[in-house]
Structure 1
Amino acid sequence: MQSISKDWIPEVRPPGTAPLWKVPAMRLLMLEGAIIGFGWGSFDVAIPAATTLVHHQSLSGPIFGALSLGTVLGGLVGGSVSRRVSSLKGMFVSYAAWAISVIPLFFVRPSWYLIIVGLLIGFAGGPLQIYYWEVIEAVRPVGTAVSALAWIWAVEGTFASLGSALSGSIAVRFGAQWSLAVTPIAILLGFSVLIAGRGVLKKADRRPSVEGDVEAISDIEDPAQ
């Protein structure tokens, strides 16, 4: 790994390249990231808060475990078909599936049913992560391979902390169901934002190619050689 990092040659950023926050596509993804970050930060606290309030604390672990398992399985499925559809279409289709999968959080009380819901949410969201990264790669300016992801993650992380901070208070003051409802509201809102601004993401309406993958890793050498 150390050899790979030493040999990696970053993209050259052409003079006059606009800052990331001035690129419409990146602004859209940052806005969506802020909304989703808030919702997902809330989810991370809402599950243990909700299960504690109904005296089923032991459910939190299996719920998060099912979510992780579903994410891995969904990611494997998404990766296996990623070259058959455009990155943009794949993102919207998988985002729609993800939005549908979180709707039960409006109605399901903290019980073992949430383990099944967590598995479905993870399975639907796994492919989305693959297509989402492909879209970022397509719309970011040249020379911003690292900073584009850094900005997205910084925005998501900041708002996730806000969601986490508020989720526990919502659960205590208004009930566990309201705390869980924050996540589907955020995901549905984030999906609506992307649909409304999809025009600025048109550069991602293409299929990834083998040649592109080879070019992306062409500067990586086998450390054993």
Structure 2
Amino acid sequence: MNTYRQLFAIPGVIRLILSAMPGRLAYAMIGLATFFFVEQSTNSVTLAGIATGAETIASSLTAGFRGHIIDKFGQTIPLSIFVPSWVTAVTVMSQQTHAATIVAASLFVGLASPPINLSTRPLWRYAVGAENLRTAYAIDTTMMNATTVVGPFIATAIAIGSGAMYALVFTAACMAIGGVAMITMPLSRTWKPEHVESATRTLFSHKPFQLLAIEGMIFGLGWGILEIAIPSFATITQNPQLSAPLLGTLAGTSIIGGILIGGRASSITPLRGFRIAQVAVTLCAAPLAFTSPGWSMGIVLALLGLSIGFAQVYHWEVLEAVRPEGTATSAAAWLWTMEGSMLAIGAALGAFLVEHVSAHIALFGVFVGMFSGTAFIWWYATPYLVKADRQLSEVEMVQALVDIEPTRQ
């Protein structure tokens, strides 16, 4: 506790935590707020999935561009452009009534995504110094995860109680407040980017990274189906209020899993841990297709989230062990870009399957995705990832914790 007190006493730390929180809450709300708005406006779960997927894929594909302009111009100018653009796009979308204009607006929402997380993480190094960095990242990740759990509950409560249009307006207001707080924060305004040489070509010709990217894309497809199948299934069974508790259970237990593994002292190497965790994810996903929104799905999602939390930490530790030197940021950013793009495709596919085929088939697709990723790692990729079959240094473990936070936002 004394360590945390000392950290909070450092000038600018409390302001940094509070400034980032409203924007992160907005990101945690936008998915379900968009889903319910489109579903209520068009009475189509498929269109809701397409709109949600359009936001995600546009945000993911442009993550590298946002990171580049921050590295080139600092934080103040990019945030001053992206924040009002995003707030305007969400507000405009909340006033649309036709399917085509709603999807177009959701695409622009993704393109205009303010780089809140991309801006926050570098500020910790600037604010607390290297000696306090791991404690600072632990606090920052906890705050981000808290908004990930709370956001869907707020979005669902507003969408069902007052209407999804108001959920979008509230989401835009949160981003506006958070954006102003970040832009006016002295830490952000005085932060100067480091000069980093581009290593993209080296990264994409690197076999271990290629394999992790393929596995991440497979996982992203399955995860995208899951994230949209839950609210879609709940909605068509006339239980939309269950969407937030179910998604919150999945997110909450994944946080617990990540904390348990991230704070461990273990002799298990990243590669071995990743292989075991992948098997656990597959086994936990197997009964999902036999559940329905309620207790049965909640229990399975709790176990699945826990195992995914384990797998996430080991996944990023494997990346940290095998990536080319000089690609600490770009490796994570490009991996999130490709995984996020497939997540968007999975969201659209999942919504279509729920509405036009079967919700249980969509959930079975989640199992297929998890099984395919596990099989790929076990039966093909492992020989190329042997550099991860060792214990990581303290510096590498800190960087792996950094990588867990989504860098597309």
TM-score under structure 1 normalisation? 0.86
Aligned amino acid, residue 209 of structure 1: S
Aligned amino acid, residue 174 of structure 1: V
Q: Which residue of 2 aligns with 1:113?
A: 296
Structure 1's consecutive aligned runs of 4 or more residues displaced over 3 angstroms after TM superposition are: 5-14, 209-216
Higher RCO by CA contacts (8 Å cutoff, separation 6 or greater): 1
Aligned amino acid, residue 280 of structure 2: A
Q: 1:169 to 1:143 in 2, by over 3 A?
A: same
Q: Which residue of 2 aligns with 1:201?
A: 385
- Tell me the SS of whatever aligns to 1:81: coil
Residues in 1 aligned to 2:341 and 2:240: alpha-carbon distance in whole angstroms? 27
- Tell me the SS of whatever aligns to 1:85: coil
Deviation, 1:93, is 1.1
Q: Which residue of 2 aligns with 1:219?
A: none
Aligned amino acid, residue 249 of structure 2: A
Q: Which residue of 2 aligns with 1:153?
A: 336
Q: Can you list the C-alpha shifts for 1:134-189, whole angstroms capped at 9, x where unaligned?
A: 10011100001111111110101111111111111111111111111111110110
Residues in 2 aligned to 1:113 and 1:66: alpha-carbon distance in whole angstroms? 12
- Tell me the SS of whatever aligns to 2:324: coil
Q: 1:198 to 1:207 in 2, by over 3 A?
A: same
- Do the aligned partners of 1:11 and 1:144 also contact (CA within 8 Å) in 2? no
Residues in 1 aligned to 2:361 and 2:296: alpha-carbon distance in whole angstroms? 17
Residues in 1 aligned to 2:195 and 2:332: alpha-carbon distance in whole angstroms? 14
Aligned amino acid, residue 244 of structure 2: G
Query: Between the two proteins, what is the percent identity of the paired residues?
Result: 33
Aligned length: 214
Q: 1:214 to 1:36 in 2, by over 3 A?
A: closer
**Residue 66, structure 1, aligned to residue 268, structure 2:** no
More helix by share: 2
**Out of 349, 353, 357, which is 1:174 matched to?**
357
- Do the aligned partners of 1:75 and 1:126 also contact (CA within 8 Å) in 2? yes
Q: Can you list the C-alpha shifts for 1:19-64, whole angstroms capped at 9, x where unaligned?
A: 2121111111111111111111111110111111222222111111
Aligned amino acid, residue 326 of structure 2: G
Residues in 2 aligned to 1:64 and 1:163: alpha-carbon distance in whole angstroms? 16
Deviation, 1:211, is 6.8
Residues in 1 aligned to 2:334 and 2:193: alpha-carbon distance in whole angstroms? 21
- Do the aligned partners of 1:82 and 1:208 also contact (CA within 8 Å) in 2? no
Long gaps (5+) in structure 1: 217-225
Deviation, 1:107, is 1.4
- Tell me the SS of whatever aligns to 2:250: helix
RMSD: 2.5
Aligned amino acid, residue 242 of structure 2: L
Q: 1:12 to 1:106 in 2, by over 3 A?
A: same
Q: 1:2 to 1:111 in 2, by over 3 A?
A: closer
